[in-house]
Amino acid sequence: MLHRLESLESCNYNGMDVAVLEKQAAGLKWQQQNYVVQNSNLVDLCASSVPQFQGLFGSNLGRGQMIELKRPEVFLGSDDFQEFVNFPVAGPEFGDSEKLDLVPHEAAADYCISRTSSCQMTAHNTSVMKEEREDTILEKMESAIGSGKESFNKRKAEAVADHKSKGKRIKGEGESEVKAKCSTEISRDSSKENSKASEVQKPDYILVRAHRGQATDSHSLAERARREKISKKMKCLQDLVPGCNKITGKTGMLDEIINYVQSLQRQVEFLSMKIAALNSSVENLPMKEFPAYVANFPAAAKLPEMAGLPSYFQLNPLQKESVNCMLNESMLPPQTATEGIASASVSSSSGITQLQPFSAWNMDPQEHVWIYVRHGRYMKDEEPVQHTCT
Amino acid sequence: MDLQNLNPSSLKSRFTARFLRALTEINAPKTISSSSPREIFQRYRRIKVAADKSMAYSVRSRRIWSRATLWRLRTRSRSRRLVSFGRRASVKTRTTASHGKENKEHHGAVLGVQAEELRELVPGGEAMDLCNLLDETAHYIKCLTTQVQVMRTIANLYSIE
């Protein structure tokens, strides 16, 4: 039995993978065919270990370690499998559980599991048996809980299919097939991982996998990682900029972003102009309660139209001119603001002509609803204003 | 929308407080003569600067763009005292920049051109690679929207009173 221990220990497997769990569970399951498994605490184990199991999933899915696994079919016919592989829940604990009281079978020698290879199956040792029950957990999850992890289901399904193709003699229910499937799939995965290049260091790194046919040298990997970072950021920007859901492609998105930033900057200028114009006619408001009130103001800032309209039209003509000229200035960059104001003052002699733009102006009580025009700017309806103002 | 107090240390609250404080400073001395367009225009500039400065201070130079904005404001205020027609100079630089933009489109990758445009828009964007530029743009957009919201609210409140 010692040689079992040595063989198992010789596996230089650094981390825990779901596959390992499944494999071990598969191996366990094979043995269970010949032995009565104490299912008294099964339900408890399932309930208690499912979250851990899922946690294990989460921690392990990010790792693309290479594992050398063999089929659990070798376990067929193993006699004494009362105590089988015991592996702890989380990764760091793996190095500890090296107790191997009973190695199931000669074939287990090929079965390179991680260092967790102690076989001890005692009914009361719940913490120990958590992973041993993986197979049963799998069944439970599949049947009752409906396992939360898609990959898990996928592996099970693939494991089932694979095992069927092997044509091995299966005793018991489908979970044994499932285990076999898992194992075969895991071996496939491991071989795939051998050929793939994966950068996995920390959870917050971007996992880059080189697919079949792609270069795997460090430069292209770095390039690919950089490109994925950029595309991820573009997606975040897509959420920020309104109306970008339909646009795909970097150039279109960048155009939208540029337009949006420009419009926001113009809005700030415009609003500051408006505040300047309004301030001249109003006295200082009490500033104590303002900050909280202003900050709590609804984001849409939809003022009640009834209250806003009457006083809103009180802008005197000069202020309106300056506001309009400010608007013109933002529309036509080459025109300097001073020139705009000069022209406004010239035209202010005919006060009546100024009223027309103001009516269009005042029609929108919310006043600066910047309508986003695709392929254009985020601008309010500026046509009437521009036509009437010089 | 509820009127309960939002997080007092959020970006919005910080910006609002600073901006209102600046507004009171701007309005205080000019309560008497303030109807001429020139006055209004001057006040507009001051308010705009105050808005940008308030936003940059609220971000507390955690971001490249806020640091660049503050630096730009400080150097501009310094240079304005030296140069007599500082306002015209800044306007002229704006026009030349817009012309230069069109020339750039003729050569180079399209992505590079747009990245250049974005760099011009976002303060401090000239020395950033695309990755950081996108990050800064996202944060800048968020702050700009906050700024616009608050200023719109203030303008509406002013117009009501």
Angle, helices A150-166 vs A42-61, to 10°: value is 100
User: What mean pLDDT is predicted for residues A247-255?
Assistant: 82
The pLDDT of residue A120 is above 70:
no
Nearest to A265 by CA among B52, B72, B158, B154: B52
Entry field: residues in chain A = 390
Rounded distance between C-alpha atoms, residue A294 and residue A297, angstroms: 5
Per-state percent for chain A, helix, strand, coil, to nearest 5: 55, 5, 40
Provide the pairing of β-strand A118-119 with A85-86. Answer: antiparallel
The pLDDT of residue A263 is above 90:
yes
Structural domain count, chain A: 1
Tell me, yes or no, whether A166 lies in a domain: no
DSSP secondary-structure letter at A106? G
Residues 319-338 of chain A whose Cβ lies under 8 A from any Cβ of chain B: 319, 321-322, 325-326, 333-334, 336-338
Half-sphere exposure of A150 (CA within 13 A, CB side): 0
User: Does the beta carbon of B32 lie under 8 angstroms from any beta carbon of chain A?
Assistant: no
Q: Taking CB atoms and an 8 Å cutoff, what residues of chain A touch B91?
A: 336-337
Rounded distance between C-alpha atoms, residue A154 and residue A19, angstroms: 12
Residue of chain B minimizing CA distance to A280 = B34
The pLDDT of residue A127 is above 70:
no
pLDDT at residue number A186: 47
Residues 215-244 of chain A whose Cβ lies under 8 A from any Cβ of chain B: 226, 229-230, 233-234, 236-237, 240-241
Binary contact (A265, B121; C-beta < 8 A): yes
The pLDDT of residue A168 is above 90:
no
Tell me, yes or no, whether A154 lies in a domain: no
User: What mean pLDDT is predicted for residues A152-178?
Assistant: 46
Of these ranges, A89-103, A373-387, B127-141, the one predicted with the greatest mean pLDDT is B127-141
Boundaries of every domain in chain B? 3-82+98-160
User: Does the beta carbon of B117 lie under 8 angstroms from any beta carbon of chain A?
Assistant: yes
Tell me, yes or no, whether A346 lies in a domain: no
CA dihedral B22, B25, B27, B29 (to 10 degrees): -160
User: Does the beta carbon of B161 lie under 8 angstroms from any beta carbon of chain A?
Assistant: yes
Do A31 and A135 contact (CB within 8 A), yes or no? no
pTM of this structure: 0.47
Tell me, yes or no, whether A224 lies in a domain: yes
Nearest neighbour of B35 by CB, restricted to A274, A280, A338: A280
pLDDT at residue number B85: 57
Band of residue A81 on the pLDDT scale cut at 50, 70, 90? very low
| More reliable by pLDDT, B74 or A51 | B74
Contacts of A100 by beta carbon, 8 Å cutoff, 6+ apart: A1, A4, A5, A8, A117, A118, A119
Tell me, yes or no, whether A90 lies in a domain: no
Least confident of A70-79, A283-292, B62-71, B149-158: A70-79
The pLDDT of residue A317 is above 70:
no
Do A207 and A198 contact (CB within 8 A), yes or no? yes
| ipTM over 0.85 threshold | no
The pLDDT of residue A268 is above 80:
yes
Per-state percent for chain B, helix, strand, coil, to nearest 5: 80, 0, 20
- Digit-by-digit pLDDT tens for chain B (161 residues) are 445 556 777 888 888 888 888 888 777 765 555 567 787 788 888 888 888 888 888 888 788 888 888 888 888 878 877 775 555 555 555 544 444 445 444 433 557 788 888 888 888 878 778 888 888 889 999 899 999 998 888 888 888 76
Rounded distance between C-alpha atoms, residue B147 and residue B161, angstroms: 21
Least confident of A7-16, A245-254, B59-68, B142-151: A7-16
Rounded distance between C-alpha atoms, residue A227 and residue A201, angstroms: 18
Tell me, yes or no, whether A76 lies in a domain: no
User: Does the beta carbon of A301 lie under 8 angstroms from any beta carbon of chain B?
Assistant: yes
From B69's Cα to the closest Cα of chain A, the distance in A is: 13
DSSP secondary-structure letter at A284? P
Rounded distance between C-alpha atoms, residue B68 and residue A151, angstroms: 47
pLDDT at residue number A262: 92
User: Does the beta carbon of B95 lie under 8 angstroms from any beta carbon of chain A?
Assistant: yes
Binary contact (B51, A299; C-beta < 8 A): no
Binary contact (B158, A237; C-beta < 8 A): no
Range of the domain at A233: 218-278
Q: Taking CB atoms and an 8 Å cutoff, what residues of chain A touch B51?
A: 268, 272
Residue of chain A minimizing CA distance to B25 = A284
Beta partners for residue A198, in sequence order: A209
User: What mean pLDDT is predicted for residues A217-246?
Assistant: 87
For residue A76, give both structure tokens: 């067929």
Binary contact (B141, A284; C-beta < 8 A): no
The pLDDT of residue A82 is above 50:
no
| More reliable by pLDDT, A329 or B115 | B115
User: Does the beta carbon of A318 lie under 8 angstroms from any beta carbon of chain B?
Assistant: yes
Tell me, yes or no, whether A72 lies in a domain: no
Q: Taking CB atoms and an 8 Å cutoff, what residues of chain B touch A268?
A: 48, 51-52, 144, 147-148, 151
| Residue matched to tokens 């002229």 | B92
CATH number at residue A262: 4.10.280
Band of residue A31 on the pLDDT scale cut at 50, 70, 90? low
Q: How many CB atoms lie within 10 A of CB B119?
A: 18
Which of A235, A275, A331 to mutate against chain B (most B CBs within 10 Å)?
A: A275
Band of residue A89 on the pLDDT scale cut at 50, 70, 90? very low
The pLDDT of residue A280 is above 70:
no
Do A307 and B160 contact (CB within 8 A), yes or no? yes
Do A160 and A177 contact (CB within 8 A), yes or no? yes
| More reliable by pLDDT, A44 or B140 | B140
pLDDT at residue number A266: 92
From B159's Cα to the closest Cα of chain A, the distance in A is: 5
